[in-house]
A and B are shown apart, each in its own frame.
Chain A
Amino acid sequence: MTSGRLVEYEGGGDETRSNPWLAELQQQMFVEINPADANNAGVKHGEQVWVEGPEGGKIKVMAFVTNRVGRGLVFMPFHFAGHYQGKDLRNKYPEGCDPYILGESCNTVFTYGYDSVTAMQETKVSLCRLQKA
């Protein structure tokens, strides 16, 4: 699996997901899955899917079935937070301060691994398992 950015949000996304104009444009955390992989996992576009990482983390997100990713690769944006392993944490924010859009963080499943010189984390390649939720 790999991760990246969306034009509507920035970084961890707390600020941009709290902006109504941007929130309206991108309302759901998702995982891009190649049609072949989706078919093998029995998952259809728009359905919920569990993405499980090799170190025990798992997240429940919407399947975005697309050829943007090749077979054997899934992509997730990293701007979302506020859901944790299937649980919505909205009621834990101070009143009136919860971002409009919440979602699972892909880094709940991304794993250990650091650059040998600078301790950069390895977020552009790891492994996962998909299961229909």
Chain B
Amino acid sequence: MKLIKRSTSPSAAHQKNLNRREFIKHSGLAVGASALASQLPFTMMEKAQAQATQLTNTPEIATIKSVCTHCSVGCGVIAEVQNGVWIGQEPAFDHPINLGAHCAKGASVREHGHGDRRLKYPMKQINGQWKRITWQQAIDEIGDKMLEIRQQSGPDSVYWLGSSKHNNEQSYLFRKFAAFWGSNNIDHQARICHSTTVAGVANTWGYGAMTNSFNDIHNSKAILIIGGNPAEAHPVSMQHIFKAKEQGAPLIVIDPRLTRTAAHASQHIRLRPGTDVPLILGMLWHIFENHWEDKEFIRQRVYGMDKVRKEVAQWTPDKVEQVTGVSENELYQAAKTMATHKPGTFIWCMGGTQHTIGNNNTRAYCIFQLALGNMGVAGGGTNIFRGHDNVQGATDLGPNAHTLPGYYGLAEGAWKHWATVWDIDFQWLSGRFDKALYDDGTGANKRTMNMSGIPVSRWIDGILEEKQNISQQDNIRAMVLWGHAPNSQTRAPEMKKAMEKLDLLVVVDPYPSNSAVLHDRTENTYLLPASTQFETYGSLTSSNRSLQWRDQVIEPLFESRPDHQILYQFAEKLGFADQMFKHIQVKNSVPLIEDITKEINKGTWTIGYTGQTYERLKKQQQNWHTFNTTTLIAEGGPCDGEYFGLPWPCWGTSEQQHPGTPILYDTTKPVAQGGLTFRARFGVERDGVSLLAEDSYSKDSEIKQGYPEFSADLLKQLGWWNELTDKEKQLAEGKNWKTDLSGGIQRVAIKHGCAPFGNAKARCIVWQFPDPVPVHREPLYSNRRDMVNKYTVYGQKYLTTFIIIDLHSVCYRMSKVHFSA
């Protein structure tokens, strides 16, 4: 489908049968010539002669499907490639998410295929000057230096900073790579993007992700956006928001700034930055005061709302105005709008997450939706718009300091699970890590293998902090910044110092990035050119948990190489390639993407990345026009009944053909058709009160009450064990729905209409967190002195952090439970 009909007459390039290089050269000349011609007397100009030269051997124009690499909306891109050159781009009118729309960034992705300003060759600093070197030299020199550092300071002195720009396969491989190197000092941008969302939301109802989809916003009767500016950050999502608005849904935007999104709002509320909790609790004050809450939903599916009521009671309208700057009338109006237009959706972004109490903010948002009963329904939900194109996938599978792929955590059981999937001896893997014990921040001594690594937000402290304040053998001495823009992080003056103190700085990126110029280093700094996602292929996960498959548009430009190839080369140099690629085919140092997808499918049961095989994803990509643009279900055609992108959880093995879960926790559908309950993640009772759902269950469930997560034991108690095949029984014995590699436990649970992860209540109290019920605390740098002593920041009580002892008296800890699956 074309936006503009292309001329069928041959272009200048075709007429002369030029190759690309000549064409560029000639077109450059042509510009000069026409400029010159304008100054020539008329008589000296020749009449243009249209040369109707017969075309011979005109290369065909291939149409290749990819996905935009600029944000997590997941817009389809149609690339036109001729003779290996990316010559054109067409809007994907038939793509179910973007429907032909692109923002400025998406409309200009073809520029990736030209890449004037790309880093073209591996480079190295010699006396402060950049010199071109070969890949071999780069890998050898860097690898030798890393091995030397490992020898002297242990594996934790090398930091692997990965990226949300990897595709799923590369993200997963990156995490696996760090495991085989023997360190958890690996992380990526999600930490500084939505980590507080993932932690807050997962701890409320089970999974830490956007619950509905962009398209599902069509069903919303009201839309509330707080701390988000999708008109600029996720422009194509706005067409879905506008559709709801055109159907009459009011749009409330809460933001300190009149953003381009707020300009479209029915109501814009300016709050003082950092006062989200009192604002949300202030809205809840009106909701409870007017009895607008959904009492039946709360009874059946919510734990701890009574404690929230107590906190809310103190946030009277006058007090809320004092703290947030928002008047009683404004807030009443917003609360009333949300209470009387149901279902309503609740959208947030970095404005809510990037705070010292970000986890309180995100939980307050969840509680708001729980109070109104807006969860698990079309048009409702917490629609958390993620940032980078694959930040959801990288969070789920990739470079994270606190967990192995699939949120399995870092405890011994998690390592054993993945060691089994990788077919690697656990003892060998364990031996790759530092064997010493260190304070994990809670007083317990652990190996770094079982402790969260240094988070991306704090790597500079891992370099600059006194060695004795860090729970590892030595400071970070080598940094690998792989697809990471350091200017997205705070404290640049300290970062500059940290970069200068390093023994080795390696940048792997399509562009040199700020990491090449911020510091005044003169030696031991390397720039390695990585390819973009248009120069390779594989899957990605968009914000709404949908996986999409990208085809390769062009060959890697210049001397750039795709991330998975570079990872293989490092693994080979560092001596663990044979173990790491045991079941992944490698050709000419390039690992086979499909084999990596298979390995992801084999091990990632927790969040249902098991059903999305590359075959199914490729088939969906070829048939993206067959999906309904509101429900995202395929209507007829080869993917009939599947949801677009098989949104996770896509339960069981691919043989079970689960269609994906378009809306999380939606009990109106059977689990086999994408329905779900809240996850039983936090035990079955707390202080004598049941945490399981009451009188609420997903459609066709044979258990008409709450139930715990499924395990081999539970199947036996229910008398369902014998429904497993003999082969399944062998693998499932002693396992649960997360660790049974046969998929039998999930299969049988779903067959009986049950959710493999149980059926519980969402919780408003997260007892493992510093503030179990979200409370307000002033920002660290507050503009209100009168508030600072009233709403204090955390004190010495929380003395621990990931593995860095804090610099200031304000200390933060990493909960050991919050991400573990």
> Would A110 and B491 count as touching, CB distance under 8 A?
yes
Pick from B457, B492, B512, B813: contact of A121, CB below 8 A: B457
In the complex, B171 has a CB within 8 A of chain A: no
For B120, the chain A residues whose CB sits under 8 A away are 96-97
Which of B120, B457, B810 has the most chain A CB atoms inside 10 A of its CB?
Answer: B457
Which of A6, A13, A117 has the most chain B CB atoms inside 10 A of its CB?
Answer: A117
Nearest CB on A from B490, distance (A): 4
> Would B273 and A2 count as touching, CB distance under 8 A?
yes
> Would B350 and A124 count as touching, CB distance under 8 A?
yes
In the complex, A107 has a CB within 8 A of chain B: yes
> Would B104 and A22 count as touching, CB distance under 8 A?
yes
Q: In the complex, A120→B117 CA distance in Å?
A: 32
In the complex, B487 has a CB within 8 A of chain A: yes
In the complex, B812 has a CB within 8 A of chain A: yes
> Would A125 and B781 count as touching, CB distance under 8 A?
yes
> Would B258 and A121 count as touching, CB distance under 8 A?
no
Closest to A12 in B: B485
Q: In the complex, A73→B271 CA distance in Å?
A: 11
Pick from A19, A25, A117: contact of B815, CB below 8 A: A117
Pick from A11, A56, A78, A121: contact of B493, CB below 8 A: A56
For B356, the chain A residues whose CB sits under 8 A away are 113-116, 122
> Would B232 and A124 count as touching, CB distance under 8 A?
no
Pick from B457, B781, B808: contact of A120, CB below 8 A: B457
Q: In the complex, A48→B358 CA distance in Å?
A: 33
Interface set, chain A 9-24, CB cutoff 8 A to B: 9-16, 18-22
In the complex, B429 has a CB within 8 A of chain A: no
Q: In the complex, A108→B105 CA distance in Å?
A: 25
Interface set, chain B 800-814, CB cutoff 8 A to A: 801-802, 807-808, 810, 812-814
> Would B387 and A12 count as touching, CB distance under 8 A?
no
Given A18-B118, A117-B359, A81 and B257 touching (CB < 8 A)? no
> Would A14 and B485 count as touching, CB distance under 8 A?
yes
For A2, the chain B residues whose CB sits under 8 A away are 256-257, 273, 351
Q: In the complex, A81→B274 CA distance in Å?
A: 26
Indicate with 1 or 0, residue by residue over A48-89, a CB within 8 angstroms of chain B CB atoms. 000000111100000000011110110100101110110001
In the complex, A118 has a CB within 8 A of chain B: yes
Given A68-B259, A73-B256, A119 and B802 touching (CB < 8 A)? yes
For B532, the chain A residues whose CB sits under 8 A away are 15
Closest to B389 in A: A10
Closest to B490 in A: A110
> Would A119 and B195 count as touching, CB distance under 8 A?
yes
For B161, the chain A residues whose CB sits under 8 A away are none
> Would A118 and B814 count as touching, CB distance under 8 A?
yes
> Would A69 and B108 count as touching, CB distance under 8 A?
no
For A73, the chain B residues whose CB sits under 8 A away are 256-257, 273
Q: In the complex, A48→B31 CA distance in Å?
A: 36
Closest to B271 in A: A70
Q: In the complex, A75→B351 CA distance in Å?
A: 12
Closest to A2 in B: B273
Closest to B484 in A: A12
Closest to A123 in B: B354
For B510, the chain A residues whose CB sits under 8 A away are 15
Nearest CB on A from B165, distance (A): 8
Q: In the complex, A124→B356 CA distance in Å?
A: 10
> Would A111 and B491 count as touching, CB distance under 8 A?
yes
In the complex, B231 has a CB within 8 A of chain A: yes
For A95, the chain B residues whose CB sits under 8 A away are 130
Which of A67, A95, A110 has the most chain B CB atoms inside 10 A of its CB?
Answer: A110
Q: In the complex, A14→B517 CA distance in Å?
A: 12
Q: In the complex, A125→B352 CA distance in Å?
A: 11
> Would B780 and A122 count as touching, CB distance under 8 A?
yes
> Would A18 and B227 count as touching, CB distance under 8 A?
no
Pick from B233, B359, B514, B781: contact of A118, CB below 8 A: B359
In the complex, B388 has a CB within 8 A of chain A: yes
Indicate with 1 or 0, residue by residue over B455-472, a CB within 8 angstroms of chain A CB atoms. 101100000000000000
Q: In the complex, A4→B257 CA distance in Å?
A: 10
Closest to B806 in A: A114
Given A18-B117, A69-B256, A84 and B488 touching (CB < 8 A)? no
Number of interface residues of A (CB under 8 A): 69
For B509, the chain A residues whose CB sits under 8 A away are 14
Pick from B105, B112, B257: contact of A75, CB below 8 A: B257
In the complex, B123 has a CB within 8 A of chain A: yes
In the complex, B798 has a CB within 8 A of chain A: yes
> Would B794 and A112 count as touching, CB distance under 8 A?
no
Nearest CB on A from B123, distance (A): 5
For B74, the chain A residues whose CB sits under 8 A away are none
> Would B357 and A99 count as touching, CB distance under 8 A?
no
Closest to A118 in B: B195
Given A2-B257, A96-B117, A100-B117, A119 and B518 touching (CB < 8 A)? no
Closest to B273 in A: A125
Q: In the complex, A6→B260 CA distance in Å?
A: 10
Which of A75, A78, A81, A113 has the most chain B CB atoms inside 10 A of its CB?
Answer: A113
Pick from A67, A97, A108: contact of B119, CB below 8 A: A97
For A119, the chain B residues whose CB sits under 8 A away are 191, 195, 455, 457-458, 801-802, 812, 814
In the complex, B779 has a CB within 8 A of chain A: yes
> Would A111 and B493 count as touching, CB distance under 8 A?
no
Q: In the complex, A7→B263 CA distance in Å?
A: 15
Q: In the complex, A76→B496 CA distance in Å?
A: 21
Given A7-B235, A113-B779, A117-B196, A20 and B116 touching (CB < 8 A)? yes
Nearest CB on B from A61, distance (A): 14
Q: In the complex, A85→B195 CA distance in Å?
A: 30
Pick from B108, B355, B514: contact of A125, CB below 8 A: B355
Q: In the complex, A18→B196 CA distance in Å?
A: 31
Closest to A85 in B: B493
For A123, the chain B residues whose CB sits under 8 A away are 192, 350, 354, 490
Q: In the complex, A93→B518 CA distance in Å?
A: 10
In the complex, B527 has a CB within 8 A of chain A: yes
> Would B358 and A11 count as touching, CB distance under 8 A?
no
Q: In the complex, A84→B356 CA distance in Å?
A: 26
> Would B257 and A32 count as touching, CB distance under 8 A?
yes
> Would B802 and A81 count as touching, CB distance under 8 A?
no
For B119, the chain A residues whose CB sits under 8 A away are 94, 97
Nearest CB on A from B38, distance (A): 24
> Would B108 and A22 count as touching, CB distance under 8 A?
yes
Indicate with 1 or 0, residue by residue over B775-790, a CB within 8 angstroms of chain A CB atoms. 0000111110000000
Q: In the complex, A120→B489 CA distance in Å?
A: 10
Interface set, chain B 347-371, CB cutoff 8 A to A: 350-351, 353-359
Given A5-B229, A73-B273, A18 and B116 touching (CB < 8 A)? yes
A-B contact pairs, 27 of them (CB 8 A): A4-B229, A4-B233, A8-B105, A11-B388, A13-B487, A14-B509, A25-B104, A69-B257, A73-B273, A81-B513, A85-B493, A94-B527, A95-B130, A96-B117, A97-B120, A105-B487, A107-B488, A108-B493, A111-B780, A112-B807, A116-B357, A116-B359, A117-B359, A117-B769, A120-B191, A125-B274, A126-B779
Residues of A within 8 A of B (CB): 2, 4-16, 18-22, 25, 32, 54-57, 67-70, 72-73, 75, 78, 80-82, 84-85, 89, 92-100, 105, 107-108, 110-127
Closest A-B pairs by Cβ, 10 of them: A12-B485, A18-B117, A118-B195, A81-B487, A105-B487, A81-B514, A125-B273, A113-B780, A108-B492, A92-B517
Residues of B within 8 A of A (CB): 70-71, 103-105, 107-108, 111-112, 116-120, 123, 130, 189, 191-192, 195-196, 198-200, 227, 229, 231-233, 235, 256-260, 270, 273-274, 350-351, 353-359, 387-388, 455, 457-458, 484-493, 496, 509-514, 516-518, 527, 532, 769-771, 779-783, 794, 798, 801-802, 807-808, 810, 812-815, 818
